[in-house]
Amino acid sequence: MEILSNPKPDFSQHQRSKVGIVQDESQPLILNWIYTDYTIINKPFPVMSGQRVGKVPIIHLYGITDEDHTVLCNCHGFTPYLYIQCPSSINSDDKINAIKKELNNHSPLLSIFPTKKRSIYYYSNVDQVYLKINVQLPSDVPKIRSLLESGLQIQYPTGSFDISPMQTYESNIDFVLRHLFDVNGTGCSWAELSSGSYTLRTGERDRATSEEWPVTGTCHYEADISFKKVIFHDPQDPQWMRLPPYRIMSFDIECSAKNRAFPRAELNEVIQIAATISLYDATEPLYRVIFVLNTCLPILGATVYTFAREDEILIAFRDFIHSTDPDIIIGYNIMNFDIPYIHKRTQTLNCLEVHEIGRIKKKAMTVKMSTFHSNQQGHRETHDISIDGRVMIDMLTVMQNEHKLTSYSLNSVSQKFVGEQKEDVHYSIIATLFEIDAESRQRLAVYCLKDSLLPLKLMDKMKVIVNFAEMSRVTGVPMSYLTMRGQQVRVISQLQRKAMAKNMVVPSVKQVVTDDKYQGATVIDPIKGFYADPIVTLVFSSLYPSIMICHNLTPTGNYFIQREPDGSREGILPEILKGVLVARKRAKDELKLENDSFNLAVLNGRQLALKIVVNSIYGFTCAQVGKLPCLEISRSVTAIGREMIDRTKNYVEDRYTKVNGFDNDAIVVYGDTDSVMVKFGMIDLHKYNGERERSSCICESKVQRSCEV
Confidence of residue 559 (pLDDT cuts 50, 70, 90): very low
Q: Which of 277-281, 283-287, 340-344, 570-574 has the lowest mean pLDDT?
A: 570-574
Rounded Cα–Cα distance for residues 396 and 398 (Å) = 5
Beta strand 303-307 pairing with 230-232: unpaired
Rounded Cα–Cα distance for residues 260 and 425 (Å) = 13
Count CB-CB contacts under 10 A for residue 446: 18
Cα–Cα distances in Å, from 350 out to 271, 293, 294, 519, 559?
Answer: 17, 18, 21, 55, 64
Which three-class secondary structure state does DSSP give residue 544? helix
Instruction: Say whether pLDDT at 356 is over 90.
Output: yes
Q: Which of 79-83, 443-447, 546-550 has the lowest mean pLDDT?
A: 546-550
User: Nearest-CA neighbor of 469 among 65, 183, 178, 189?
Assistant: 189
Under 8 Å between Cβ of 294 and 306: yes
pLDDT, average across residues 69-83 = 95
Instruction: Say whether pLDDT at 214 is over 60.
Output: yes
Count CB-CB contacts under 10 A for residue 139: 13
Rounded Cα–Cα distance for residues 473 and 475 (Å) = 6
Which three-class secondary structure state does DSSP give residue 510? coil
User: Which is more confidently placed, 1 or 657?
Assistant: 657
pLDDT, average across residues 90-107 = 81
Q: What are phi and psi of 465, to 5 degrees?
A: -65, -50
- Percent of the chain at pLDDT > 90 equals 44
Instruction: Say whether pLDDT at 560 is over 50.
Output: no
* Entry pTM: 0.87
- Residue-range domains of the chain with CATH: 14-78+176-240 (2.40.50.730), 81-166 (3.30.70), 247-467 (3.30.420.10), 488-703 (3.90.1600.10)
Residues contacting 236, CB < 8 A, separation 6+ = 473
Per-residue confidence (pLDDT) for residue 459, from 0 to 100: 94
Give the CA angle between residues 399, 402, 405 to the nearest 5°: 60
pLDDT in tens, 286-307: 999 999 999 999 999 999 999 9
Find how far residue 459's CA is from the centre of its chain: 17
pLDDT in tens, 224-275: 999 999 999 999 898 999 999 999 999 999 998 877 788 899 999 999 999 9
Q: What are phi and psi of 247, to 5 degrees?
A: -100, 125
Confidence of residue 138 (pLDDT cuts 50, 70, 90): very high
pLDDT in tens, 586-623: 888 888 888 887 778 888 888 888 888 888 887 777 76
Per-residue confidence (pLDDT) for residue 394, from 0 to 100: 96
pLDDT, average across residues 539-565 = 71
**Dihedral-angle region of residue 476 (phi above 0 means left; psi in -120 to 50 means alpha; beta otherwise):** left
Which three-class secondary structure state does DSSP give residue 173? coil
pLDDT in tens, 382-397: 888 999 999 999 999 9
Give the CA angle between residues 493, 591, 248 to the nearest 5°: 60
Rounded Cα–Cα distance for residues 221 and 33 (Å) = 13
pLDDT, average across residues 396-400 = 92
Per-residue confidence (pLDDT) for residue 22, from 0 to 100: 66
Under DSSP, the state recorded for 557 is: B
Under 8 Å between Cβ of 347 and 355: no
User: Which is more confidently placed, 574 or 212?
Assistant: 574
pLDDT, average across residues 517-544 = 77
**Dihedral-angle region of residue 245 (phi above 0 means left; psi in -120 to 50 means alpha; beta otherwise):** beta
Under 8 Å between Cβ of 298 and 221: no
Rounded Cα–Cα distance for residues 489 and 111 (Å) = 28
Cβ neighbourhood burial of 516 (10 Å; 0-12, 13-18, 19+)? exposed
Buried b (16+ CB within 10 A) or exposed e, 193-216: beeebbbbbeeeeeeeeeeebeeb
Instruction: Say whether pLDDT at 465 is over 90.
Output: yes
Beta strand 366-374 pairing with 270-279: unpaired
Which three-class secondary structure state does DSSP give residue 499? helix
Per-residue confidence (pLDDT) for residue 674, from 0 to 100: 80
Per-residue confidence (pLDDT) for residue 707, from 0 to 100: 58
HSE-CB at 83 with a 13 A cutoff on CA atoms is 21
Largest CA distance in the chain: 95
- Percent of the chain at pLDDT > 70 equals 86
Per-residue confidence (pLDDT) for residue 329, from 0 to 100: 98
Length, in residues, of the chain: 709
Q: Which of 107-121, 143-157, 395-409 has the lowest mean pLDDT?
A: 143-157
Instruction: Strands of 172-309 (E only): list them.
Output: 190-193, 198-200, 221-226, 230-232, 247-255, 270-279, 287-293, 303-307
Write the single-letter amino acid at 349. Answer: L
H-only helix segments in 423-487: 430-436, 438-461, 464-475, 480-484
Confidence of residue 27 (pLDDT cuts 50, 70, 90): very high
pLDDT in tens, 677-687: 888 876 565 65
Instruction: Say whether pLDDT at 430 is over 70.
Output: yes
**What DSSP assignment string belongs to 578-634?**
HHHHHHHHHHHHHHHH---HHHHHHHHHHHHHHHHHHHHHHHHHT-SSSSS--HHHH
Highest-confidence segment of 52-56, 152-156, 327-331: 327-331
Under 8 Å between Cβ of 318 and 302: no
Q: What are phi and psi of 93, to 5 degrees?
A: -65, -30
Instruction: Say whether pLDDT at 518 is over 60.
Output: no
